[in-house]
Chain A
Amino acid sequence: MSIATDQARVIEGVKAEQWVRIYRRMVMIRQFEEQVNELYTRALMPGLAHLYMGEEAVAVGICEALRQTDYITSTHRGHGHCLAKGASPDRMFAELLGKEAGYCRGKGGSMHIADPATGNLGANAIVGGSAGIATGAALSSKRLGTGQVTVCFFGEGALGQGVLYEVMNLAALWKLPVIYVCENNLYNEYTHYSETTAGDMLARGAAFGVHAESVDGQDVRVVYATAERLVERARRGEGPALLVCNTYRYHGHHVGDINREYYRSKQEEQEWKTKRDPIKNFAEWMIQQKISDAAALEQMQKEVRAEMKAAVEFAIAAPYPKPEEAEQDVYA
Chain B
Amino acid sequence: MPEMAVRELTFAHAVREALAEEMRRDSRVCIFGEDVAEAGTPFKVLSGLVEEFGRERVLDTPISEAGFTGMGVGAAMTGLRPVVDIMFGDFLTLTMDQLVNQAAKVHYMSGGTWKVPMVLRTTLGATRRSAAQHSQSLHAWLSHVPGLKVAMPSTPYDAKGLLKTAIRDDNPVVFFEDKMMYKLKGPVPEQEYTIPFGVADMKREGEDITIVATSSMVQVALGAAECLEKIGVSAEVIDPRTTWPLDEKTLVESAKKTSRAIVVDEGYGRYGVTGEIASVIAEGAFYSLDAPVKRMGAMHVPIPFSPPLEDVTVPTEQTVFEAARAMCGKG
Contact = CB atoms under 8 A, between A and B. Distances in A.
Interface in B1-59: 34-35, 37-39, 42
A128 B307 contact: no
Interface of A: 46-48, 98-99, 104-112, 124-129, 157-162, 188-191, 195-197, 262-263, 320-323, 325-327, 330
A263 B38 contact: yes
Interface of chain A, main secondary structure: loop
B182 interface: no
B101 interface: no
Given A262-B39, A327-B301, A330-B301, A98 B63 contact: no
13 contacts: A46-B305, A47-B131, A106-B309, A107-B302, A111-B131, A125-B131, A128-B63, A160-B62, A189-B39, A323-B308, A323-B311, A323-B312, A330-B302
Given A189-B42, A320-B308, A321-B306, A109 B129 contact: yes
Query: Closest 3 CB pairs between A and B?
Result: A109-B305, A98-B306, A47-B129
Contacts of B307: 46, 98, 320
Contact of A189 (B35, B66, B134, B309): B35
B309 A191 contact: no
B304 A326 contact: yes
A162 B62 CA distance: 11
B305 A326 contact: no
Contacts of B300: 330
Contacts of B134: 111, 125
Given A108-B131, A321-B308, A326-B304, 6 more contacts: A48-B130, A98-B129, A188-B63, A191-B35, A325-B304, A325-B306
A136 to B, nearest CB: 18
A108 B35 CA distance: 26
A188 B62 contact: yes
Contacts of A129: 133
A106 B310 CA distance: 10
B124 to A, nearest CB: 16
| Residue of B42, B308, B311 with most chain A CB atoms under a 10 A cut-off | B308
Contact of A162 (B42, B60, B66, B301): B66
Contact of A326 (B39, B129, B133, B299): B299
A47 B130 contact: yes
A44 to B, nearest CB: 12
| Residue of B67, B131, B301 with most chain A CB atoms under a 10 A cut-off | B131
B60 A112 contact: no
A223 B23 CA distance: 49
Interface string B79-91: 0000000000011
Contact of A107 (B60, B299, B305): B305
Interface in B256-306: 299-302, 304-306
Contacts of B67: 160, 162
Contacts of A157: 62-63
Given A106-B309, A109-B306, A326-B304, A196 B90 contact: no
| Residue of A47, A48, A320, A325 with most chain B CB atoms under a 10 A cut-off | A47
Nearest to B66: A162
Contacts of B39: 189-191, 262-263
B62 A196 contact: yes
| Residue of A98, A110, A195 with most chain B CB atoms under a 10 A cut-off | A98
B318 interface: no
A111 B299 contact: no
B61 interface: yes
B89 to A, nearest CB: 13
B118 to A, nearest CB: 20
Contacts of A107: 131-132, 302, 304-306, 309
Contacts of A195: 60
A158 B94 CA distance: 13
A156 to B, nearest CB: 10
B64 interface: yes
A326 B131 contact: no
Given A158-B63, A326-B313, A106 B306 contact: yes
Given A112-B132, A126-B91, A191-B39, A197 B306 contact: no
